[in-house]
Amino acid sequence: MPAVLAAVGVWIISSVIAKVLVALGIGLFTYYGLFGLVEELIDQLRFLLGDMPPAVFQIISLFGFPEGLSILCSAFLTRAAIQSTKVFFGLT
């Protein structure tokens, strides 16, 4: 009987580990797939902000616009990675 319980336990743990690894792979694939797009967006915005007069750029920097933009882009990437994992497993 203990051998059967051990075999069932190993099967359950191995299937859970496999699901976790698949979820991590999908999340990382989505994150890095979208990372290039978001990085391009940030570069374009930096280019556009560089064309502003220095006084205007200093004012929006005081309000934390560059940091806020970085936080929003990071949140978007994280949300996309989590959502793709949920969709893969049919949780949504």
The whole-number pLDDT of residue 71 equals 92
The whole-number pLDDT of residue 75 equals 93
The whole-number pLDDT of residue 18 equals 78
Give me the helices (H) in the chain, please.
2-50, 54-62, 65-89
pLDDT averaged over every residue in the chain: 84
Residue-wise pLDDT for 28-72, tens only, equals: 888 888 888 889 988 998 888 888 898 988 999 899 988 998 899
C-alpha distances (whole Å) from 13 to each of 1, 5, 26 are 18, 12, 20
Would you say residue 3 has pLDDT above 80?
A: no
In this structure, which amino acid lies at residue 62? L
- Contact indicator for 26, 85 with CB cutoff of 8 Å: yes
Tokens of 49: 């902000």
Percent of the chain with pLDDT over 90: 17
Give the span between the Cα atoms of 49 and 69, in whole angstroms: 12
Question: pTM for this one?
Answer: 0.68
